[in-house]
Structure 1
Amino acid sequence: MSERLKGKTAIVTGGGSGIGSAIATLFAQQGAQLALIDLNLDASQPLAETLQRETGLRCIALQADVTDEAALKRCVAETEERLGPVDILINCAGINVFRDPLTMEDADWQRCLAVNLKGPWNGIRAVLPGMVARQYGHIVNIASVHGHKIIPGAFPYPVAKHGLIGLTRSLGVEYASQGIRINSISPGLIMTPAAEAWLESCDDPTAERQRQTDILPCKRIGEPVEVAYTALFLASDEARFINATDIVMDGGRSQLYHE
């Protein structure tokens, strides 16, 4: 354990699985005490207990829907009471919503924006007062390559992710002079449980997995821990001059002119 986050307290939303759990695990290994906020305590609670046992650092699991601003504020207050001031917020909670624009129900539109855009804003608003008071804080939003490039059939997910990148840039500039940095990461295809489930739902999972691998310049699909290491850098003081910036990590896929 190199302890790049020694003495820091971090909140990770969506910390119970996928990219969120990879970030939580790496952060604990790097010396941070953690609050994992997730809808599913069945996933986040065992992880919190395991990380606390393995690292000796305090790690708690809290339940909340990120669309519920009051619930997130309560979670932040509990984190501060149990772990101390929040130094780092990782907004990782999100959902895939891919619909036909003409037949999509309004509820799908609302839920997509509520979780993927307003959810991070709720988390930021909950931690900002404490960060402003101490003139210190690092926030990392997990966006997506969908916030840069449009993939047909993925509406309205890209709308929310474009908005999240805009939120990152706007607030990063707004609070830069107060010691607070706000950045985002835009992963491409990452082999999370959700990605695995999607591949298995395809008519020929093996062929689709190979197709997805072949279209990547690096000829492999990304891993959650790779996103976690990028989040670690952005959340650490090593990145103290990086602000209001989005980092695309998709194996170079978005740089291709054509397939």
Structure 2
Amino acid sequence: MNRLTGKVALVTGAGRGIGAAIAHAFAREGAAVVLAELDMQTAQATCHEITTQCPDARVTAVRTDVTSATSVREAVVDAERLFGPLDVLVNNAGINVFCDPLTMTDDDWRRCFAVDLDGVWNGCRAVLPGMVERGRGSIVNIASTHAFKIIPGCFPYPVAKHGVLGLTRALGIEYAAKQVRVNAIAPGYIETQLTRDWWNGQADAEAARRTTLELQPMKRIGQPDEVAMTAVFLASDEAPFINASCITIDGGRSAVFHD
């Protein structure tokens, strides 16, 4: 319960799903946590849940639009003013944009990349100067198995996620000598509200759920907490030599050649 004691972390998109689970886990492990979230209603609700479960937690929410470099820089300034220099950044904010390539609009393309790739770069660019100056820091980018696998009908989302993996590796090498580590986590199917919403949007929600589970080698999908604890590991001092790497959390699904 003290793997992150003394550390200050900022988590983007922390109002719900994987981001909220990471914020909860970081607080349980002793970190001061800033939830950088566009939807302040969900962010405040998550903050309340964290403080209810961990009364001594140091946690706050800051309205942040990851598509705006200025907004992200301001979130970092606010976080450091309140809790001190940032030790950890988790770039979790993301959106699903799935289109037919030839009918996709320019706005769809820009919206996908503005959040899913530019948003990650905006976060990295905001925290790297301080981390480099202090000679320490851990950045964890939430990528996806879409970063190395292609599912038809999901364009351009996997293009952006491939970019996140490239960004992770490039920055990890660029700043390795400064003791700033940059890693990624690639979740597969995780039971978030977005996943449940997709099931519920099908003609037979229960059949859609069963089909998804049957495709998984472990016959279940992951839980947000299972991603969160990997983020804790990468953010902690237990992973000092893990850098420019990606940890896949998909129960083995991406290792399957065919169904």
Offset at residue 83 of structure 1 (A):
0.6
1:119 corresponding residue in structure 2? 119
Runs of 4+ in 1 over 3 A off after TM superposition: none
Deviation by residue 1:155-209 (Cα, 9 ceiling, x = unmatched): 0000000000000000000000001000000100100011110110011111111
In 1: Cα distance, 2:41 partner to 2:252 partner: 36
1:16 corresponding residue in structure 2? 15
2:253 corresponding residue in structure 1? 253
Offset at residue 20 of structure 1 (A):
0.1
2:31 corresponding residue in structure 1? 32
1:159 corresponding residue in structure 2? 159
In 1: Cα distance, 2:171 partner to 2:186 partner: 17
Identity of aligned residues (%): 53
Could you tell me which amino acid in structure 2 is paired with residue 15 of structure 1?
A
TM-score, reference length from structure 2? 0.98
- For the residue of structure 1 that corresponds to 2:222, the secondary structure is coil
Could you tell me which amino acid in structure 1 is paired with residue 64 of structure 2?
A
Offset at residue 248 of structure 1 (A):
1.1
- 1:41 corresponds to 2:40: yes
Q: More displaced, 67-76 or 40-49?
A: 40-49
Contact kept? 1:88, 1:137, Cα under 8 Å? yes
- 1:61 corresponds to 2:64: no
Contact kept? 1:28, 1:55, Cα under 8 Å? no
Could you tell me which amino acid in structure 2 is paired with residue 247 of structure 1?
I
Q: Where in structure 1 are there 5+ consecutive unaligned residues?
A: none
Deviation by residue 1:103-126 (Cα, 9 ceiling, x = unmatched): 101000001011000101001111
Contact kept? 2:28, 2:57, Cα under 8 Å? no
Offset at residue 132 of structure 1 (A):
0.8
In 1: Cα distance, 2:97 partner to 2:57 partner: 36
Structure 2 counterparts to residues 27-106 of structure 1, below 5 A: 27-53=26-52, 54-106=54-106
TM-score, reference length from structure 1? 0.98
Over the aligned positions, Cα root-mean-square deviation in angstroms equals 0.8
Offset at residue 48 of structure 1 (A):
1.6
Deviation by residue 1:207-227 (Cα, 9 ceiling, x = unmatched): 111111011111101100000
Contact kept? 1:168, 1:244, Cα under 8 Å? yes
Deviation by residue 1:64-107 (Cα, 9 ceiling, x = unmatched): 11000001101100111111000000000000000000110100
Contact kept? 1:13, 1:90, Cα under 8 Å? yes
**How many residues matched?**
258
In 1: Cα distance, 2:211 partner to 2:243 partner: 35
In 2: Cα distance, 1:44 partner to 1:132 partner: 29
In 2: Cα distance, 1:251 partner to 1:127 partner: 32
Contact kept? 2:25, 2:229, Cα under 8 Å? yes
- For the residue of structure 1 that corresponds to 2:218, the secondary structure is coil
Q: 1:175 to 1:225 in 2, by over 3 A?
A: same
In 2: Cα distance, 1:93 partner to 1:50 partner: 20
- For the residue of structure 1 that corresponds to 2:238, the secondary structure is helix
Offset at residue 46 of structure 1 (A):
2.4
Offset at residue 50 of structure 1 (A):
3.4
In 2: Cα distance, 1:254 partner to 1:123 partner: 28
Offset at residue 19 of structure 1 (A):
0.2
In 2: Cα distance, 1:51 partner to 1:216 partner: 31
In 2: Cα distance, 1:83 partner to 1:156 partner: 37
In 2: Cα distance, 1:79 partner to 1:257 partner: 44
1:145 corresponding residue in structure 2? 145
Q: Where in structure 2 are there 5+ consecutive unaligned residues?
A: none
- For the residue of structure 2 that corresponds to 1:239, the secondary structure is coil
Structure 2 counterparts to residues 198-237 of structure 1, below 5 A: 198-237=198-237
